[in-house]
């Protein structure tokens, strides 16, 4: 069951109730045993999510790479086939040799020069083949880059994931300001706005910054992208990251909000999951925002002292 500590921190509690009987066998008492299984439950959830997301994404990208590779192979075969047709002639006969009929040796002038229409067709076909090969090569490169991005995300998040002591004090206002500047540099056409108080000091896990950077990259890497980050100083500090460019879907947010991936309900990437896990690892609370500008809502406890 989900429980809460005295300071309001949520955790998962396994409760076992054991009957205690007297000498006659009559149950007189019940003994309750409680065990904090938060780490175990979260680890199992993360493994299940990673397994499903990786199987889905890796399979899709490998299918793209395989299909485009076959397309390139087919395009490379076409020039040799055209050369073979040119050598054998359209009727399948080779030109007469030196001992053949003088008329054949001289050949039909139109055959020697080649049909202008055929030459034009070959030229157009060659141009189309080159464009197709270029497109296929770009698709393979993009799919490979996305697989490398997934690997980098997992590597960054895996560092110190199980070490709750890997938390340090940060100024969220400065952190998001720096990340926004980095994302704007990589995506000049994207709009990334940050509205924050002068200082927002909280404690976060070491995985938080790379997780948030991955999410901002996802939101900025879409046509007409617009991202807004708002930090509010309430009883706790609240961060709202909203997508105004259509990168996030209600289905993605629903799956992450409920914490489960199924064959019929799953997200396309890891970005939302990484932000959720990093926030919870920072002893914060993760929520989603719906409406015209969907996004995520992160709540952090105000820092009294800086543990770093």
Could you write out the three-class secondary structure of the chain?
CEEECCCCCEEEEEEEEEEEECCCCCEEEEEEEEEECHHHHHHHHHHHHHHHHHHHHHHHHHHHHHHHHHHHHHHHHHHHHHHHHHHHCCCCCCCCCCCCCHHHHHCCHHHHHCCHHHHHHHHHHHHHHHHHHHHHHHHHHHHHHHHHHHHHHHHHHHCCCCCCCCEEEEEHHHHHHHHHHHHHHHCCCCEEEEECCCCCEEEEECCHHHHHHHHHHHHHCCCCCEEEEEEEECCCEEEEEEECCCCCCHHHHHHHHHCCCCCCCCCCCCHHHHHHHHHHHCCCEEEEECCCCCEEEEEECCCCCCCC
CA–CA separation, 41 and 19 (whole Å): 26
- Asked whether the beta carbons of 211 and 157 are under 8 A apart, the reply is yes
Residue 257 lies in a domain: yes
The pLDDT of residue 230: 95
CA–CA separation, 209 and 228 (whole Å): 17
| Residue 260 φ/ψ, nearest 5 degrees | -140, 150
The pLDDT of residue 182: 93
How many structural domains are present in the chain? 3
- Tokens representing 100 are 């053949």
CA–CA separation, 304 and 123 (whole Å): 73
Domain shared by 29 and 148, yes or no: no
Residue 306 lies in a domain: no
Closest CA to 229 of 285, 284, 174, 282: 174
Domain shared by 234 and 272, yes or no: yes
Angle, in degrees to the nearest 10, between helices 172-186 and 208-220: 40
CA–CA separation, 233 and 271 (whole Å): 25
Residue 65 lies in a domain: yes
Angle, in degrees to the nearest 10, between helices 271-281 and 250-258: 30
- Asked whether the beta carbons of 54 and 150 are under 8 A apart, the reply is yes
The pLDDT of residue 109: 47
Domain shared by 59 and 154, yes or no: yes
Domain shared by 144 and 72, yes or no: yes
Closest CA to 231 of 182, 299, 180: 299
Residue 259 lies in a domain: yes
Domain shared by 279 and 210, yes or no: yes
Residue 108 lies in a domain: no
What range defines the domain where residue 89 resides? 45-94+114-158
Domain shared by 147 and 19, yes or no: no
The pLDDT of residue 36: 85
Residue 238 lies in a domain: yes
Q: pLDDT (tens digit, 0 to 9) for every residue of the chain, 308 residues total?
A: 888 878 777 788 889 999 999 999 999 999 999 888 877 777 777 776 666 666 666 777 777 788 888 877 777 765 555 555 555 555 444 444 444 555 444 444 444 455 555 555 555 555 666 777 778 788 888 778 777 777 766 666 665 555 555 788 999 999 999 999 999 998 999 999 999 988 888 999 888 998 899 899 889 988 888 999 999 888 889 999 999 888 888 888 888 887 665 554 445 567 888 899 889 888 899 999 988 899 999 999 887 654 44
Residue 307 lies in a domain: no
Domain shared by 25 and 53, yes or no: no
Chain position carrying tokens 């105004």: 244
CATH of the domain at 284: 3.30.565.10
Domain shared by 229 and 278, yes or no: yes
Domain shared by 197 and 175, yes or no: yes
Domain shared by 211 and 264, yes or no: yes
Residue 107 lies in a domain: no
pTM here is: 0.59
* DSSP β-ladder status, 2-4 and 10-21: antiparallel
CA–CA separation, 8 and 143 (whole Å): 43
CA–CA separation, 90 and 94 (whole Å): 10
Domain shared by 30 and 86, yes or no: no
Domain shared by 118 and 179, yes or no: no
Q: Which of 130, 158, 186 is the last residue of a domain?
A: 158
């Amino acid at each position: 069951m989900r429980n809460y500590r005295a300071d309001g921190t949520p955790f998962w509690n396994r409760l076992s109730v054991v009957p205690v009987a007297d000498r006659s066998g009559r149950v007189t008492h019940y003994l309750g045993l409680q065990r904090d299984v938060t780490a175990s439950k979260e680890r199992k959830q993360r493994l299940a999510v990673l397994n499903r997301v990786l199987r889905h994404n890796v399979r899709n990208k490998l299918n793209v790479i395989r299909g485009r590779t076959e397309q390139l192979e087919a395009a490379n075969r076409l020039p040799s086939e055209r050369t073979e047709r040119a050598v054998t002639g359209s009727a399948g006969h080779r030109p007469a040799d030196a001992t053949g009929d003088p008329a054949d040796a001289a050949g039909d002038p139109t055959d020697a020069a080649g049909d202008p229409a055929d030459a034009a067709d070959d030229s157009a076909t060659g141009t189309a083949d080159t464009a197709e090969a270029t497109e296929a090569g770009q698709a393979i490169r993009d799919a490979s880059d996305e697989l490398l991005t997934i690997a980098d995300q997992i590597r960054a998040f895996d560092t110190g994931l199980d070490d709750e002591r890997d938390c340090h004090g940060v100024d969220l206002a400065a952190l998001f300001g720096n990340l926004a500047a980095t994302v704007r540099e990589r995506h000049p056409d994207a709009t990334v706005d940050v509205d924050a108080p002068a200082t927002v000091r909280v404690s976060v896990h070491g995985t938080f910054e790379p997780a948030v950077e991955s999410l901002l990259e996802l939101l900025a890497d879409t046509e007409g992208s617009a991202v807004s980050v708002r930090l509010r100083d309430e009883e706790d500090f609240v961060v709202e990251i909203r997508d105004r460019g259509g990168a996030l879907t209600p289905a993605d947010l629903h799956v992450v909000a409920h914490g489960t991936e199924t064959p019929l309900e799953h997200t396309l990437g890891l970005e939302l999951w990484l932000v959720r896990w990093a926030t919870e690892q920072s002893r914060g609370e993760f929520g989603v925002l719906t409406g015209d500008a969907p996004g995520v809502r992160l709540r952090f406890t105000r820092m009294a002292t800086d543990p770093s």
